Chain A
Amino acid sequence: METKAHIEEHHVGYTTYVLVWLALMVLTGITVWVSYLHFGVFNIVVALLIASIKASLVALYFMHLKFEDKTTWIFVLYPIVLLALLIGLTAVDVFFRTTP
C-alpha cells in the first residue's frame, strides 16, 4: 500500500524543475546587479535575502523538501536555528565584551 504511495508523491514534473532553474538564474543576475548599487549596510541584507530565496527554492523543489514529512522538516529547521544561535551569540560575546 505504502510502496505505491511514496513513488506517487515525489513525481515533480520536468517543467517545474526548469522553471525553478530559470528563477535561480534570474535571481543570480539580480544579486550581481544589486551589488553595484549602494545601500550601505543593506547591501548585505539584500544579498542574504536573495541567497535565502534561492536556497529555499533549491531545498523545496530540487530537494523535494516540500513533500517531506514533519520529522524531516524539524531536522531541517532546528539546525538552522542552532546556526543562528551560534552566529548570534558568538557575535554578542565578541562585540559586547567589557574588557578588550
Chain B
Amino acid sequence: MANHTVAETIHVPYLEEKGILSWILSTDHKRIGIMYLVSISTFFVLAGIAALLVRLELLSPGKTIVDAHTYNVLFTFHGSAMVFLFIVPGIAASFGNFLIPLMIGARDVAFPRLNLLSYWLYLLGTVIILFSLLKPADTGWTFYTPYSIQTGTDVILLTFGVFILGFSSILTGLNFIVTVHKLRAPGMTWHRLPLFIWSSYATAILQLLATPVLGITLLLLIAERVFGIGFFDPAKGGDPILFQNFFWFYSHPAVYIMIIPAMGVISEVIPVFARKPIFGYKAIAYSSLAIALISFLVWAHHMFVSGMSEVAATVFSFLTFLVAIPTAIKVFNWLATLYKGSIELRTPMLYALSFIFLFTIGGLTGVFLGTLAADVHLHDTYFVVAHMHYVMIGGTVMGFFAALHFWYPKMFGKMYNEAVAKVAWFLVFVGFNVTFFPQFILGMEGMPRRYADYPPQFHTLHEISTIGSWILGLGILIMALNLLRSLTNGEKAPDNPFNSLSLEWQIPSPPPHENFEKIPHVTDWTYGYGKKNNQEG
C-alpha cells in the first residue's frame, strides 16, 4: 500500500527541451542516462558489426575476407569496444542514471554536475579509443605483457583512453553510492529498496574500488613504453605476472560490474510479469553485496596456466566456486518467484527468462572452467569464448534488452510494437545459441581462440556459428528498427503500462524534470504484487 504521490500540476517532461546544448550541458540524471544509452548502443552496434566481420572471416579455413593482421585489429576492436564502451558502463551508467533517483524518490543524483563530468569523460575516453584505431592495437582487450610493451602498434593511446573511461566509471560509482546512502525518500529504508538499487549499489562499490587498480596498471604500462621502466619486463628484472595480477584484480570484479546490474533488471522484471512478490528479497539483495565482496578474492584464477603455484591455484579454484553460490541463490529465488505466478509473456519477460536460461549455462561452464584440471585443458580454446559470450550476451545483453523493453515506455513516453519485438526476441535467442553453442564443442575439440585460420576439421562447426551470427544480427536489427520507429510513430505510453508498483511508474511517462512534484513518503516495499495488487488497481 505504497503511498505514492503523483505529480499532476507541473508537468514539464524532461524530453521537452530541444537542441543539442540542452542535452550535452544537462545535469538532469534522466538526460545523462539517455545520453549514455544512445552512446553505448552505438558502440554495441559498431562492435557487433566487427564481430560479424570476424565471424565472416571464420566462415571457411584460410583467408575469407581479411588477412591475419586485419583480423587481429577487428577482434581487438570488437573486444575493446564491447567491454570498455558498452558492457562496463552499460546498464549501470544508462539505466542506473535514469532509474536510481526515480526509484529511491529523489530529484537527482547526489552530485549532478559531477555526473555530467563523468559522461564527458566517458565521451573523451571513447574518442581517444576510436582515434587510437587509426593505428590500431592488436593486443586483444587484455593488453597482456610482454607483448603489449613490445608491439609496434599504438597501445599508449588505447590504454590512455581506457584510463579516462576508468576515471569516468569511478566518478559514476562514487555518485551512485552517495546517492543511495543520502538521498532516499522518507520511509525508503534499505530493506524497501528495489533490488535494482541493491545491484546498482554493489556495482558502484566494485567500480569505485577495482577501477583505481586498473588505472595504476595502465599508467605503469604507459610508463613502461614512455620512460622505459621495467616493472612488467623480465629483461629489466620485472615480472609479467605482476601485470596479470593487477589486471585481473580489476577485471574479475569487472566481470561482476558487467553482470550485477543485469541481475538487478531481472529482479525487477520477473515479479511484475509473474504478478507475485519477489521471493527471497533479502537473499537476493545481500547476494549482490556478497558478490561484490568475494569477487575481489577470485581474481587470480584467470592465471592458472600462467605459472601460478599449485597452492595458490587450489585456493583460487575454491574461491571460484564460492562466487557461484550467491549467483545460484539469485537464480533459485527467481525461479521460486516464477513458480505458480500468473506469468505474462511480454517482451521484457521473454528476455528475462532467456537471461535465466542462458546465464545458467554460462555460469555452469564457468564453474567447469574454474575446476583446475579442466581449465588447463580448455584454457585459450573456443570453450572460453563460448563461456564468455554466454555470460556476456546470455547474461548482460539479455538483461540490457529486458531493461530496454521494460523501461522504454517510461523513458520515451511511447509504446513499441509488441509483436515485432517478440519476433526480434525469437531471432536473437535462436541466433545466439546457433552462434555460440557450437563453440563449446569447438573448444572441447581443441580449437584455440584468437586465430584467423583453422584446420579443416573445424569447418562445419565454424560455418554453423557464422550462420548463427547472421540470425542474431538480423534479430538485433529488427529490434533496433522497431524501437527507433516507435520514437515517432509509437502510441503514447500510459504512466504505468505494466502495472508495476515501483516508484518510477507512479509518475508520468516521460517523467517531468523534477521527477516528483512532492517527494513521496514510502510506507512499503515495491514488491507487494498479488493480494495488495488488487487494492492498488
Contact = CB atoms under 8 A, between A and B. Distances in A.
Q: Classify A-B as touching or not with yes or no (CB < 8 A).
A: yes
Interface stretch (B120-128, B191-199, B307-315): B307-315
Interface in A67-100: 71, 75, 78-79, 82, 85-86, 89-90, 92-94, 96-100
A98 B209 contact: no
A79 B209 contact: yes
Contacts of B311: 96
A71 B312 contact: no
B219 to A, nearest CB: 15
Contact of A97 (B209, B297, B308): B308
A100 B249 CA distance: 22
B309 A98 contact: yes
B242 interface: yes
A26 B309 CA distance: 44
Interface string A1-36: 000000000000000000000000000000000000
Interface residues of A, number: 17
A93 B308 contact: yes
Contact of A90 (B209, B245, B307, B310): B245
Interface in B288-336: 296-297, 299-300, 303, 307-312
A99 B309 CA distance: 7
Contacts of A89: 245, 297, 299-300, 312
B309 A96 contact: yes
B181 interface: yes
Given A90-B245, A93-B241, A99 B297 contact: no
Interface in B44-98: none
Nearest to A78: B209
Contact of B213 (A86, A93, A94): A86
B241 A94 contact: yes
Classify the interface of chain B: helix, strand, loop or mixed. helix
Contact of B181 (A71, A96, A100): A71
A79 B312 CA distance: 23
Given A90-B242, A93-B241, A94-B242, A82 B312 contact: no
Contacts of B309: 92-93, 96-98
Contact of A96 (B177, B213, B245, B312): B312
B453 interface: no
Contacts of B241: 93-94, 97
B239 interface: yes
A92 B308 CA distance: 10
A12 B173 CA distance: 32
Contacts of B297: 85, 89
A82 B211 CA distance: 12
A90 B242 CA distance: 7
Contacts of B307: 97-100
B242 A98 contact: no
B296 A94 contact: no
Interface string B261-303: 0000000000000000000000000000000000011011001
Contact of A82 (B181, B296, B308): B296
Contacts of B246: 90
A82 B209 contact: yes
A1 to B, nearest CB: 15
Given A86-B249, A98-B310, A99-B307, A93 B300 contact: yes
Contacts of B239: 94
Contacts of A99: 307
A31 B177 CA distance: 38
Contacts of B209: 78-79, 82
Given A79-B209, A94-B239, A97-B312, 11 more contacts: A89-B297, A89-B312, A92-B309, A93-B245, A93-B308, A93-B312, A94-B241, A96-B311, A97-B241, A98-B309, A100-B307
9 contacts: A89-B297, A89-B299, A89-B300, A92-B309, A93-B308, A94-B239, A96-B312, A97-B307, A99-B307
The 5 closest A-B pairs by CB, nearest first: A96-B309, A99-B307, A90-B245, A97-B309, A98-B309
